[in-house]
Amino acid sequence: MKRTGAQILVEMIKSQGVDTIFGYPGGATIDIHDELDRHDDLRHILVRHEQGAVHMADSYARAHKTTGVALVTSGPGATNTVTGIASAHSDSIPMVVFTGQVPTGLIGNDAFQEVDIVGITRPCTKHNYLVKDPAKLAGTIQEAFHIASSGRPGPVLVDLPKDVIQAEIEFDMPEPTKMRSYKPNYKPNKKQMAKAVSMLKAARRPVIFAGGGVISSKASEEITRIAKLANIPVTGSLMGLGSFPGSDDQWLGMLGMHGTYRANMSIGHSDLIFAAGVRFDDRVTGNIEKFAPDAKIIQIDIDPTSIHKNIEVHCPIVGDCKMALADILALMEKEDPADFHQDRDAWMARINEWKQTTPLKYEQKDDVIKPQYVVEKLYEVTEGKAIVTTEVGQNQMWTAQYYHFDRPNHFITSGGLGVMGFGLPAAIGAKAGQPDKLVVCVAGDGSIQMNSQELMTAVASKLDVKIVILNNRFLGMVRQWQEFFYDRSYADTNMEDAPDFVKLAEAYGASGFKCDDPAKVTATLQEGLNTPGTVIMEFIVEREESVYPMVPAGGAITDMLLV
């Protein structure tokens, strides 16, 4: 049966189980949008900027546990996606981005709205394609989804020339993808499993370090059972929050530059780190030469290039986190549980002492709102059940520290790339994926302005999200560095000139609330969260409040600024 390229594209997208696309039309993709309009079972969410589309697809993939899809036009439409693609690549998020392109005969001629988006995105995609032959369109799309969602997940870009989309050819659904050159290894080496169990038995000061790979492989249950069986304390990277219950006594909190004192000290004094789904980036390790000097390290990762990349490990395990953890758990369950608890009392007592003597802390007074207090009250009011997205900066760190995530896929943030402007579109994407869940974006007054136009997307699409703005009238994280290391020279970080966020909300058809009284924080949160529709809640917070602990650049993670 003859089909146009646009019809083939839509059929192939549906064949992959996709029901939602985030996009923005243009001349190069007009035929695709014309075809999409004929499919009631495929929802297209019209964004207000292409960067927002990719962040929404990213968050949708995390919340819905599937592959996100974005569709944009050629030229500036394509280049506007690069930041979102790079963020998804850093955080290993499965996504397929379709970009329009000028007709094949015009490629290379500097045609109107022509860019080499394949070349531009080659460093920040898992793979990308330029489809020049309509006969290869269906198979390419199928491959794109397979690559994006398998192995270490990541974004794949498919560039679609207009003549390929308009061409009419015979179409048959292709056979399942078989790629001889791409065969990710899922099954870990059994000898390494046994070695890991022996190391766990021998350890006296072990710590489990859980990362985003635990969440993406859906292995939270397995790592929790291992921690419980062997009574091992657990820390996590920013991307790993929610992989182990944040309210559990064995949870140490986040590790790294703004990690908790007990987490950083536990890693620094451990004799074994059991790391799953982490790549030991610089925000976690601090000074590599001083990182966990007495510890042997077990590292599980599906990507062999992530092992030994930053830190030398003693037991590398290449494979899917869920499969590896399940195999290790099965071996542990054959052993005497007492073998995993020998001589641990002193270690657990020391951790408990760190927890009691040096907790996360701030002092809430009567005259000004502390941002930590807002996050704590948000946790209480939502009972810890909301899906929380964040922007990037101090708001992100305070959320990571004071909102205790008990479930995976409930904390969604731009980790590796650290994109300001991520949180609002991410909240919309999460709401599209989990419409029955409460979704809250925690933002700073600077970062919310990066993509505030997506308020219109939320309102128009009836994807009701709640936005908590911690307004300190500064670019807070940069200001904090200026305070500590640049003698309080606040160059270009003053944000006192800002919009009225309540009026901004109302201009987009949303609701707005403003609070500058500590006594009214809880009431404002309750009113905002219970108000139908999209809502902005602006809290005027302490201007020069800083995130503690803080590890200075180049320092060991055990050398923290605490006040």
Catalytic residues: 50, 112-113, 162, 477
Measured torsion, CA atoms of residues 287, 291, 293, 297, in degrees rounded to the nearest 10: -140
Residue labelled with tokens 């190069």:
28
Amino acid at 402: Y
Cα separation, 298 vs 306, whole angstroms:
13
Cα separation, 80 vs 73, whole angstroms:
10
Amino acid at 99: T
Long-range (24+ apart) CB contacts under 8 A made by 176-183 are: 176/142, 177/139, 177/142, 177/143, 177/146, 179/143, 179/146, 179/147, 182/147, 182/151
State the CB neighbour count (10 A cutoff) for residue 140.
18
Contact status, residue 330 vs residue 193, Cβ threshold 8 Å:
no
Cα separation, 425 vs 421, whole angstroms:
8
Which token pair is 237? 């990277």
Our measurement of the distance from residue 282's CA atom to the centroid of its chain's CA atoms, rounded to an integer in Å, reads 17
What Cα–Cα distance (Å) separates residue 213 from each residue in 209, 238, 408, 410? 11, 12, 11, 15
Task: Provide the 3-class DSSP secondary structure of residue 365.
Answer: coil
Which token pair is 241? 């929050």
Which token pair is 299? 């590292």
Task: Provide the 3-class DSSP secondary structure of residue 302.
Answer: coil
Q: What is the CA radius of gyration of the chain?
A: 24
Our measurement of the distance from residue 137's CA atom to the centroid of its chain's CA atoms, rounded to an integer in Å, reads 30
> For the purposes of burial, counting CB atoms within 10 Å of the CB of 553, is it exposed (0-12), middle (13-18) or buried (19 or more)?
exposed
Paired strand residues for 536: 467, 512
Q: Which helix (H) or strand (E) covers residue 46, if one does?
A: strand 43-46
